[in-house]
Amino acid sequence: MKFIIGSDHGGYALKEQVRGILESLGYAVEDVGCHGEDSVDYPRFGKEVAARVASGEFPRGCLICGSGVGMSIMANRFQGVRAALCNDLYTAILSRRHNNANILVMGGRLIGSELAKEIVTTWLRTPFEGGRHERRVAQLDNL
Ligand code: RB5
């Protein structure tokens, strides 16, 4: 499966780790950057990942900045994107079960690498429950 990822400098180290996790699980990963720890502006990377998920080019993506907040704000401006800021495991589970999240957002400065690994692998394997949540998720795009 295809997967698109991006970060700013605050999320760079964790993005590198996430790319490795995804590749080890067999995903074909497109990394839109950034590609180092020099300071960059997160909206540019958030926009590219969100636009390409919104267009259907990628079914799922991952965005990481320092806190995860800026990337979440950017990504959720795109219709069809359901970006979930998950800095804990239970939010990661619920964001898939109830919200059918299609972009996982994390704060690279807030969580350690072991927790991040658990969050990513759990988020990937947790299915959407559908049912009553199907109707609610459909309402998200009915502005
Ligand atoms: C960059 O310093 C920081 O503001 C950014 O990574 C992110 O946390 C924004 O929400």
Q: What is the pLDDT of residues 24-81, one digit of tens each?
A: 999 999 999 999 999 999 999 999 999 999 999 999 999 999 999 999 999 999 999 9
> Where do the structural domains in the chain lie, given as residue ranges?
2-141
* Ligand 1 contact, 66 CB (< 6 A): yes
Q: Which residue out of 63, 71, 73, 110 has the highest number of ligand 1 atoms within 8 Å of its CB and is therefore the one to mutate? A: 71
Specify the pLDDT at position 44.
Answer: 98
Specify the pLDDT at position 87.
Answer: 98
CB 34 within 8 A of CB 64: no
State mean pLDDT over 128-133.
Answer: 98
CATH topology of domain 2-141: Ribose 5-phosphate Isomerase B; Chain: A, (3.40.1400)
The reported pTM is: 0.98
State mean pLDDT over 12-18.
Answer: 98
Specify the pLDDT at position 142.
Answer: 84
State mean pLDDT over 86-103.
Answer: 98
DSSP string, the chain: -EEEEEE-GGGHHHHHHHHHHHHHTT-EEEE----SSS---HHHHHHHHHHHHHTTS-SEEEEEESSSHHHHHHHTTSTT--EEE-SSHHHHHHHHHTT--SEEEEETTTS-HHHHHHHHHHHHHPPP--THHHHHHHHHT--
* Ligand 1 contact, 6 CB (< 6 A): no
State mean pLDDT over 110-126.
Answer: 98
pLDDT band at 143 (very low <50, low <70, confident <90, very high): confident
Q: Is 98 a catalytic residue?
A: yes
Mean pLDDT of the chain: 98
Specify the pLDDT at position 60.
Answer: 98
Q: Indicate which residue's Cα is closest to atom 4 of ligand 1.
A: 66
State mean pLDDT over 6-26.
Answer: 98
